[in-house]
Amino acid sequence: MFVDELTPFVQALARQPVAFCGGFFSGLFRLNLAEDPVRSWLNKQGANPANGSDSSLPSAAKGPQSIDIE
């Protein structure tokens, strides 16, 4: 039973060990990928963190939007 719960983690670790360890490390230390120095290091590596810091979105899509319900 306990082995079944750990199977997805072991599979992810086996497929991409560096990415898994990096994600585990950033979660363990609660690093925000959108703040410096992590953001600048990721930009130098050629990565684009996808946690809401994408500047390609139109300005209307970045904040709350109002809708009319009839």
List per-residue pLDDT tens for the chain, 70 residues long.
678 888 888 888 888 888 888 888 888 888 777 777 777 877 887 776 555 444 454 555 567 778 888 8
Contact indicator for 49, 42 with CB cutoff of 8 Å: yes
Q: Is the dihedral of CA 36, 38, 39, 41 positive or negative?
A: positive
Contact indicator for 53, 39 with CB cutoff of 8 Å: yes
When divided into structural domains, the chain yields a total of: 1
Q: Is 15 part of any domain?
A: yes
Q: Is 64 part of any domain?
A: no
Contact indicator for 34, 52 with CB cutoff of 8 Å: yes
Q: Is 51 part of any domain?
A: no
Cα 60 to the center of its chain, rounded Å: 23
The range of the structural domain enclosing residue 26 comes to 7-45
